[in-house]
């Protein structure tokens, strides 16, 4: 197959039973130059190389039985592992009895959700991380993975056709490029590698998303400085590493997790300044669209998890993007530019659908690609639930005080609620001081001022996105515990000037399960 191009997801080819005769790919859009240089059969991993930059003829595409593939042909299609071009057998597709799994490896623990074809949650399980963290995070993740999968009812597991994982952004480790075995301990999402910033800044373009102390590239440069980036080492994000335990392919990542390592999602390629660097050999060899099929479970993984042999693993994403997808649930197909999700958890994060990519490190704005021409733009403030907990204690007290607030009346108090100096978005200022005075004697009045000030920060964030080229705000769904506070929702709607509602489902694991469906389309 020559001249493979991206954007052919809707293009279908009939494939005769037991054969794989495909015509040349005539898909549109830019040429597919991403790594690695091969096509992969979704069932048997039959692959063929790129010769001198061009796709060579694959013997498996001849009008004869597919070599080496002995698995049942219940997943009736082929997909290019990088650009997503597919070939569908007539009559193939998802069935009403199919189930997809989403696995969320978040900040406080791991969770699995099983979702059927109607979007109904049919089973779930969760496990917390140790209270004091772990001395061996990769081992803790692997233990949680098998515990979660085997805890699901066997009747549910028997129906699973695809699964996807999400992990915390910029959590990563080095692994052996052949075996996938960890070569380092993991550095978590919030690990700041400030000593690596000069090297990162000298390498990356000014204002690039990866020029941050907590970025994945800063962590990779830290390992390089320590002499840990050997020739056989490859960087694996949390979701990459855990997924590889299931599909067996080392060095495969996705657009979203790879962003803070320096991947260019618009070009769908690693930039030349990074490929030619001293750490270029340690970059993941394939970066694919979230939801793209990577391959089936290995026989060992299928047996250990009790899942069907033809269950496939879809490329994952980050936990925040999975939560965004979950917020819209089965209405994801109806999302339009200007739709947004505000996550009110420990922090306050905003994400909006946009046709325009916006990256502005000065204001803490970055963009994730989630479709051929769709971007998720936004940023995250350090204000949020952690500040409320520090100021007011438990949730019962917050509910009692909130009930005394009239959300239709503006508070005269003007705060910038932070637990410590430093803000990321909509003001990127590491020295910004908290502002929480004057503090009235009435705690309900104080809470009113804090909630309204947080709502002003959210509104400024969306206004900044619009000023940078994002579409006008259309509606806001609220994920996280803050969405349960009706007074706060009403205050936010007054300031935002658009409908604000609580997401019916905001769990990242649910969003990952929806993402897994894309591997079955």
* Domain final residue pick, 61, 93, 125: 93
* Domain final residue pick, 93, 124, 153: 93
DSSP-based three-state secondary structure for 326: helix
**Mean pLDDT, the chain, as a whole number?**
83
55: in domain:
yes
Summarize pLDDT for 53-70 with one digit per residue, the tens: 333 333 333 333 323 333
**Confidence class for position 20, pLDDT limits 50, 70, 90:** very low
What is the rounded average pLDDT of the residues 57-85? 35
Per the rule left: phi > 0, alpha: psi between -120 and 50, beta: everything else, 384 is: left
Q: How many independent structural domains does the chain possess?
A: 3
486: in domain:
no
Residues 124, 200, single domain; the answer is yes
27-32: long-range pairs with CB below 8 Å, 24+: 27/83, 27/85, 29/5, 29/372, 30/5, 30/6, 30/267, 30/268, 31/3, 31/4, 31/5, 32/4, 32/5, 32/6, 32/80, 32/82, 32/83, 32/85, 32/268
Residues 81, 139, single domain; the answer is no
Question: Is residue 403 pLDDT above 80, yes or no?
Answer: yes
* Per-residue model confidence (pLDDT) at position 347: 86
Summarize pLDDT for 148-196 with one digit per residue, the tens: 999 999 999 999 999 999 999 999 999 999 999 999 999 998 888 999 9
* Burial class for 443, CB neighbours closer than 10 Å (0-12, 13-18, 19+): middle
* Per-residue model confidence (pLDDT) at position 332: 55
491: in domain:
no
* Per-residue model confidence (pLDDT) at position 331: 60
**Confidence class for position 429, pLDDT limits 50, 70, 90:** confident
What string of DSSP letters covers 495-506? HH-S-EEE-S--
Residues 178, 216, single domain; the answer is yes
Summarize pLDDT for 238-279 with one digit per residue, the tens: 999 999 999 999 999 999 999 999 999 999 999 999 999 999
30 versus 476: the higher-pLDDT residue is 476
What is the rounded average pLDDT of the residues 100-107? 94
DSSP-based three-state secondary structure for 130: coil
* Domain final residue pick, 67, 93, 119: 93
DSSP-based three-state secondary structure for 2: coil
Closest CA to 6 of 516, 519, 373, 375: 373
* Per-residue model confidence (pLDDT) at position 388: 96
264: in domain:
yes
330: in domain:
no
Residues 48, 166, single domain; the answer is no
* Burial class for 327, CB neighbours closer than 10 Å (0-12, 13-18, 19+): buried
Question: Is residue 509 pLDDT above 60, yes or no?
Answer: yes
Which region among 108-122, 366-380, 482-496 has the lowest average model confidence (pLDDT)?
Answer: 366-380
Residues 281, 357, single domain; the answer is no
C-alpha to C-alpha distance for 163 and 315, rounded to whole angstroms: 9
492: in domain:
no
Q: CB neighbours of 376 closer than 8 A, spacing ≥ 6?
A: 321, 324, 351, 352, 353, 354, 367, 368, 369, 370
Q: Which domain holds residue 468?
A: 337-473
Which region among 6-20, 278-292, 332-346 has the lowest average model confidence (pLDDT)?
Answer: 6-20
Question: Is residue 14 pLDDT above 50, yes or no?
Answer: no
Residues 316, 168, single domain; the answer is yes
373 versus 376: the higher-pLDDT residue is 376
C-alpha to C-alpha distance for 399 and 22, rounded to whole angstroms: 61
Residues 159, 70, single domain; the answer is no
What is the rounded average pLDDT of the residues 420-429? 88
Q: Would you say 514 and 326 are in contact if contact means Cβ atoms under 8 Å apart? A: yes
Residues 145, 160, single domain; the answer is yes
Residues 130, 243, single domain; the answer is yes
**Confidence class for position 96, pLDDT limits 50, 70, 90:** low
505: in domain:
no
* Per-residue model confidence (pLDDT) at position 214: 87
Q: Would you say 361 and 430 are in contact if contact means Cβ atoms under 8 Å apart? A: no
pTM: 0.75
* Burial class for 387, CB neighbours closer than 10 Å (0-12, 13-18, 19+): buried
Residues 313, 341, single domain; the answer is no
What is the rounded average pLDDT of the residues 61-86? 35
Residues 467, 366, single domain; the answer is yes
* Per-residue model confidence (pLDDT) at position 333: 55
Residues 118, 239, single domain; the answer is yes
Residue 185: CATH number of its domain: 3.30.420.40
C-alpha to C-alpha distance for 512 and 104, rounded to whole angstroms: 7
Query: Kind and range of the H or E element at 220?
Result: helix 216-225
């Amino acid at each position: 197959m020559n001249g493979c191009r991206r954007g052919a997801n809707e293009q279908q080819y009939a494939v005769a039973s037991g054969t794989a005769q495909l015509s040349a790919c005539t898909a549109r859009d830019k040429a597919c130059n991403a790594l690695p240089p091969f096509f992969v059969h979704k069932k048997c991993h039959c692959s063929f190389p790129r010769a001198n930059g061009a796709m060579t003829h694959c013997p498996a595409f001849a009008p004869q039985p597919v070599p080496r593939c002995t698995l049942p042909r219940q997943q009736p299609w082929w997909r290019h592992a990088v650009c997503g071009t597919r070939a569908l057998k007539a009559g193939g597709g998802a069935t009403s009895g199919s189930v997809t799994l989403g696995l969320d490896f978040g900040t406080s623990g791991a969770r699995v959700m099983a979702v059927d074809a109607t979007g109904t949650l049919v089973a779930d399980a969760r496990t917390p991380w140790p209270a004091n963290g772990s001395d061996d995070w990769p081992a803790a993740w692997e233990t949680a993975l098998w515990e979660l999968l085997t805890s699901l009812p066997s009747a549910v597991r028997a129906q699973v056709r695809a699964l996807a994982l999400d992990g915390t952004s910029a959590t990563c480790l080095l692994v052996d490029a052949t075996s996938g075995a960890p070569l380092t301990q993991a550095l978590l999402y919030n690990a700041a590698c400030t000593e690596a910033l000069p090297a990162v800044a000298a390498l990356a373009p000014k204002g690039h998303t990866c020029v941050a102390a907590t970025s994945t590239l800063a962590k990779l440069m830290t390992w390089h400085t320590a002499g840990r980036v050997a020739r056989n080492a490859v960087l694996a994000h949390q979701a990459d590493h855990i997924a590889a335990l299931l599909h067996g392919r080392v060095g495969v990542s996705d657009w979203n997790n790879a962003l803070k390592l320096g991947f260019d999602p618009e070009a769908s390629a690693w930039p030349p300044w990074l490929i030619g660097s001293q750490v270029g050999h340690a970059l993941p060899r394939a970066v694919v669209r979230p939801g793209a099929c990577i391959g089936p479970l290995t026989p060992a993984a299928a047996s250990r998890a009790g899942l069907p042999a033809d269950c496939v693993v879809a490329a994952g994403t980050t936990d925040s993007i999975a939560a965004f997808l979950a917020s819209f649930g089965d209405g994801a197909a109806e999302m339009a530019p200007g739709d947004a999700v505000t996550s009110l958890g420990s922090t306050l994060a905003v994400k909006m659908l946009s046709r325009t990519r916006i990256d502005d490190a000065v204001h803490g704005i970055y963009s994730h690609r989630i479709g051929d021409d769709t971007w998720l733009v936004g940023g995250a403030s350090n204000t949020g639930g952690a500040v409320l907990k520090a100021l007011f204690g438990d949730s019962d007290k917050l509910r009692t005080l909130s009930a005394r607030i009239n959300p239709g009346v503006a508070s005269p108090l003007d705060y910038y609620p932070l637990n410590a100096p430093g803000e990321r978005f909509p003001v990127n200022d590491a020295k910004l001081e908290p502002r929480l005075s004057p503090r009235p004697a009435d705690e309900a009045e104080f809470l009113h001022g804090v909630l309204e000030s947080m709502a002003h920060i959210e509104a400024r964030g969306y206004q900044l996105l619009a000023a940078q080229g994002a579409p006008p705000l259309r509606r806001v769904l609220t994920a996280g515990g803050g969405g349960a506070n009706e007074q706060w929702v009403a205050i936010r709607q007054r300031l935002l000037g658009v409908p604000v509602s609580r997401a019916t489902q905001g769990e990242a694991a649910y969003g990952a399960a929806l993402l897994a469906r894309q591997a079955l389309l």
